[in-house]
Amino acid sequence: MACLDNSVSLNLRDELVILASDVARSAGEVLMKRPAAFTLTEKSSAVDFATQMDQQAEELIVSALLKARPDDGVIAEEGAAKNSKSGVTWVIDPLDGTVNYLYGLPGWNISIAAKDESGVIAGVVFAPTINSLWRASKGGGAFLNDQAIKCNDPVTLDMALLATGFSYDLVLRKEQGSRIEKLIPKIRDIRRNGAAAVDLCYVAMGAVDGYFESSLKEWDFAAGGLIATEAGAIISGRTGGAPDGDMVVCAGPALHAQLLRQF
């Protein structure tokens, strides 16, 4: 019976990945049709906003997922929420990297994860401007466009190329600036790509060695975090526990341990 249960569970995870991939691609098609003008809705500050396209993408994603699996729950950045009856809840960022999208820069993406009582079990990140779909199921490995990927490991801090992002909160930005100032002399270099989910996927595929950022939400790191861990990386909070709104740190095991000592 134990083997049967495990087989059924793995099949469900694969089904969730396939569904999330299809829905993410559909949302990507809509988002690639950039409007002539944007309607901006302010969130935490004047520089933290959503566009009408964030909202349209979320409506499309939630509708498609619940049409396929009506008993599932939803947690989404732009406010969609539904309690789960099935034990599966979707964690959705319909447009991660909204500022990139507004300015016509690459790397914005659609991030869709599914979780149960054990944690995230399926994750998809789709960045159509760079033709990249990353996916992972728990225990099933990580892939970019159907090619298996692995993080860089071991990497020493002095040779590490790191990615990061900055909070919209000005007080936190000052703290982050001080942290970067101390870290820069110790590392190879740093990158600011503008989309948390893609940064985590870059760790997963070895495009950067590590990533850290403060003030993230669950939808920012749910899918990318699973993809990174399935590629061999470790994702945690500042003190090594579960990632949270305080800080997310992600890197291969050797570098991850070194990064934690910097914070």
pLDDT in tens, 76-128: 999 999 999 999 999 999 999 999 999 999 999 999 999 999 999 999 999 99
Domain boundary among 148, 176, 210: 148
Integer Cα distance of 201 and 220 in angstroms: 12
Chain CA centroid to CA 182, Å: 26
What confidence score (pLDDT) does residue 48 get?
63
What confidence score (pLDDT) does residue 1 get?
33
Instruction: Single out the residue of 213, 220, 199 nearest to residue 246, CA to CA.
Output: 213
Per the structure block, which two tokens stand in for 256?
Answer: 């991850």
What confidence score (pLDDT) does residue 3 get?
39
Regarding whether 203 and 118 lie in a shared domain, the answer is: no
Amino acid at 210: G
Instruction: Single out the residue of 84, 157, 78 nearest to residue 115, CA to CA.
Output: 84
Under-50 pLDDT residues of the chain: 1-8
What confidence score (pLDDT) does residue 50 get?
84
Domain that holds residue 77: 2-148
What confidence score (pLDDT) does residue 146 get?
95
Asked if 205 contacts 231 with a C-beta cutoff of 8 angstroms, the reply is: yes
Give the CATH number of the domain where residue 123 resides. 3.30.540.10
Give the number of domains in the chain.
2
Regarding whether 141 and 15 lie in a shared domain, the answer is: yes
Domain boundary among 84, 118, 148: 148
Regarding whether 28 and 116 lie in a shared domain, the answer is: yes
What confidence score (pLDDT) does residue 44 get?
66
Regarding whether 77 and 167 lie in a shared domain, the answer is: no
Per the structure block, which two tokens stand in for 109?
Answer: 């993406």
Regarding whether 187 and 105 lie in a shared domain, the answer is: no
Give the CATH number of the domain where residue 175 resides. 3.40.190.80
Regarding whether 79 and 34 lie in a shared domain, the answer is: yes
What confidence score (pLDDT) does residue 220 get?
97
Sequence-distant (6+) residues with CB within 8 A of 233 are 151, 153, 203, 204, 250, 251, 252, 253, 256
Per the structure block, which two tokens stand in for 232?
Answer: 């061999």
Regarding whether 124 and 45 lie in a shared domain, the answer is: yes
* Sequence-distant contacts of 108-112: CB under 8 A, at least 24 apart: 108/31, 108/194, 108/195, 109/195, 109/197, 109/198, 110/24, 110/27, 110/28, 110/31, 110/57, 110/61, 111/197, 111/219, 111/220, 111/222, 111/223, 111/224, 112/20, 112/23, 112/24, 112/61, 112/65, 112/223
What confidence score (pLDDT) does residue 45 get?
63
Regarding whether 195 and 226 lie in a shared domain, the answer is: yes
Regarding whether 123 and 56 lie in a shared domain, the answer is: yes
Regarding whether 140 and 16 lie in a shared domain, the answer is: yes
Regarding whether 174 and 127 lie in a shared domain, the answer is: no
Regarding whether 161 and 142 lie in a shared domain, the answer is: no
